[in-house]
């Protein structure tokens, strides 16, 4: 088996494991929406309540929350672990990054990893406040987390724009489907 085929097989395996774990999580009713609650509210717990940001939601300390053992846990989407490396390898292969595009790709990868490190740092602060902080401390750390997310998205934008600009029209069509969504929201 060639190196390229082994890499693709490894990425597919990593994606299968991640997908299986994500599906198992979603069947338990937790995760990003928090115990099946809506993100925006509407009579239900919304993003700032027990939904996305609450104890069992995306930013909460619940076992299946996105900031807990879910998507932002060690080695997952926002970490610098093997899953992120696999996602970057997958994205590079899907986009068909050429030798001429290597520098803008490397800049994008650095920005994505910097973003991940920033989010991991905020995760630790968030977990501490959610587990033992006062109501005011939890409110403040939620605000900090949202600001950190916004800042990290702004920080990755120039590298993403430079990468996008360097892509061919066919690559841009693929990028429109992959960048900024799902597993590739790096």
Please check whether residue 148 is in contact with residue 118, taking contact to mean a CB–CB distance below 8 angstroms: yes
The end-to-end CA distance of the chain, in Å, is 30
Residues 178, 94 contacting (CB under 8 angstroms): yes
Q: What is the C-alpha separation between 30 and 58, in angstroms, rounded?
A: 9
Rounded-to-integer distance, Cα 91 and Cα 126, Å: 29
The token pair at 168 is: 């061919």
CA distance 61 to 127: 6
87 touches 95 (CB < 8 A): no
Radius of gyration of the chain (CA): 18
Does the predicted TM-score (pTM) go above 0.85?
no
Query: Whole-angstrom Cα distance, residue 112 to residue 98?
Result: 19
Torsion sign over Cα 123, 19, 54, 154: positive
Q: What is the DSSP letter of 44?
A: S
Size (the chain), residues:
186
Per-position pLDDT tens, the chain of length 186: 555 555 555 555 455 444 444 444 443 333 333 333 333 334 433 433 444 444 444 444 443 333 333 333 333 344 567 888 999 999 999 999 999 999 999 999 999 998 888 888 888 888 888 888 899 999 999 999 999 889 989 999 999 999 999 999 999 999 999 987 654 455
- Domain-wise residue ranges, the chain: 3-184
Q: What are the distances in angstroms from CA 89 to CA 10, 59, 113, 125?
A: 10, 27, 13, 30
């Amino acid at each position: 088996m060639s190196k390229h085929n082994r890499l693709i097989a490894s990425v597919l395996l990593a994606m299968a494991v991640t997908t299986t774990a994500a599906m198992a999580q979603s069947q338990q009713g937790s995760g990003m929406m928090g115990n099946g609650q809506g993100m925006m509210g509407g009579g239900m717990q919304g993003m700032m309540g027990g939904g996305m940001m609450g104890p069992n939601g995306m930013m909460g300390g619940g076992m299946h929350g996105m900031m807990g053992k879910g998507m932002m846990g060690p080695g997952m989407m926002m970490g610098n672990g093997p899953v992120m490396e696999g996602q970057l390898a997958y994205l590079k292969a899907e986009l068909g990054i050429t030798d001429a595009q290597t520098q803008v790709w490397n800049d994008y990868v650095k920005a994505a990893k910097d973003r991940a490190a920033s989010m991991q740092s905020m995760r630790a602060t968030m977990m501490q406040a959610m587990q033992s902080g006062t109501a005011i401390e939890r409110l403040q750390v939620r605000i900090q987390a949202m600001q950190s997310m916004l800042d990290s998205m702004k920080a990755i934008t120039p590298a993403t724009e430079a990468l996008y600009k360097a892509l061919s029209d066919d690559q841009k069509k693929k990028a429109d489907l992959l960048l900024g969504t799902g597993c590739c929201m790096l």
